[in-house]
Amino acid sequence: MDLDVGDAAAEFQDFFERHYAELARLAHLLTGERDAADDLAADALVALWHRWDRVRAAEHPSAYARGVVANMARSRIRSAVRERRRVALFWAHRSERVDDPDVPAIVDIQGALRILPFRKRACVVLRHAFDLSERDTALALGISVGTVKSQTSKGMAELKRLLGSRTATELVGGMR
């Protein structure tokens, strides 16, 4: 049964209203950028609207949407890394360099998350901040459940190492 455009629009609007905040929160936790998170979530929802027939036919539309956000966040992070490298190359050729910059000693949870490679960060965020099951996390990221288990475990171990005596699990869970 095909939906007419009005029915599809109403169905999408309902999906948007139910999932926008969650998708923006996921984007924020993956990128560490609050302003960019709203843009990423909006861009992801535009992309979902353009493929709405495919999305609504998916077994888990919200997992599909999380996957779109994760992929867009990954692309944004890669672009930012490339830009930072270009800036670093520019400044590396300048003569007035500081050899020993003053780096803050305190590492907060967002800073620690940004240190993690994308897949570990995504697994930790989806499992602990979003309380998704291993299966739902695997669906959202397009990876196996075993990969989710290993990446989450390794990510949490790294967070615990980075955060010292603070409990990483409590901090990640407290990001809601």
Residue 102 belongs to a domain: no
Residue 33 belongs to a domain: yes
Q: Which domain holds residue 83?
A: 1-97
Q: Measured between alpha carbons, how far is 67 from 122 in angstroms, rounded to an integer?
A: 10
| Residues 87 and 18 both lie in one domain | yes
| Residues 91 and 114 both lie in one domain | no
Walk along the chain (176 residues) and give the pLDDT tens digit of each residue. Answer: 455 778 889 999 999 999 999 999 999 999 888 888 999 999 999 999 999 999 988 889 999 999 999 999 988 888 777 777 666 665 555 454 545 443 343 346 778 888 899 999 999 989 988 889 999 999 989 899 999 999 999 999 998 888 765 545 555 555 54
| Model confidence pTM above 0.75 | no
Residue 139 belongs to a domain: yes
Q: What's the distance, Cα to Cα, between the start and end of the chain in Å?
A: 39
